[in-house]
Amino acid sequence: MDERNPRRLTGKGISMHPLLRGGDGLKVIPYTDRRVCVGDVVVFRSPDPKMREVVHRVVSVDSQGIRTRGDNNNHLDSWILQPEDIIGRVVSAKREDRIFAVHGGFRGTIIARMIRVKKRIDRIISGIRRLLYKILHPVYRRLSQSGIFRKILPRQFKPRILCFKRPEGTEMQLLIHNRIIGRRCPGWDDWQIRRPFRLFIDEESLPRQSSDL
């Protein structure tokens, strides 16, 4: 394999998300005279017999060897590679009709750090959402059951129900002023109502099937 005749691989797994996805076509070229750098996305022979060739990013290079990690992984790979384990570096990828560069070195390191920072932020936001849901959901449920907001809803915003014939049966949609706020599809046990509109709906009065209208 040389730069004039690069190797083509198909990406697998999620360890390099979101940069690389399963099914991406990867262009791989050998290092030849170029040394392996931190930040490079490399293809290597895995010491794990259950895995064949792995595509991960280089996170350190020292006298002991080369350490790698997938951009989407929380931990370093357990092995330490040697230069002869490296098949080549990924320089570009093709996803459907789009071809994009896969950067290595310093730029690749920055990209990997940005991905990890985004993951941390996403985890924090997800944790805040779960906490708010845990705190506010009981309050929201009690207010919905109280019917306070239904009493103050203007007449022109009173909910109405439309029925649509589907191959599986009749779908009922709940609307407030031409906006769909809930639906009950054939086979569903309950109405699905978007928040915060449950505050304005008496669920007990909603029909369970179109014949109840």
For residue 197, give its domain range.
Answer: 149-207
Calculate mean pLDDT across residues 148-168: 87
In a domain, residue 23? The reply is: yes
| Structure-token match 């002991």, residue found | 64
Looking at the fold, whether 37 and 107 belong to one and the same domain comes out as yes
In a domain, residue 67? The reply is: yes
Last residue of a domain, one of 92, 115, 138: 115
Looking at the fold, whether 45 and 91 belong to one and the same domain comes out as yes
In a domain, residue 163? The reply is: yes
Instruction: Report the CATH number at residue 69.
Output: 2.10.109.10
Number of domains observed in the structure of the chain: 2
Looking at the fold, whether 16 and 88 belong to one and the same domain comes out as yes
Residue 210 has pLDDT above 90, yes or no: no
Tens of pLDDT, residue by residue over 17-49, are 999 999 999 999 999 888 999 999 999 988 887
| Structure-token match 């730069």, residue found | 3
Biggest CA pair distance of the chain: 78
Beta strands in the chain (DSSP E): 7-10, 25-29, 41-45, 53-61, 66-69, 86-95, 98-101, 160-166, 169-176, 179-184, 192-193
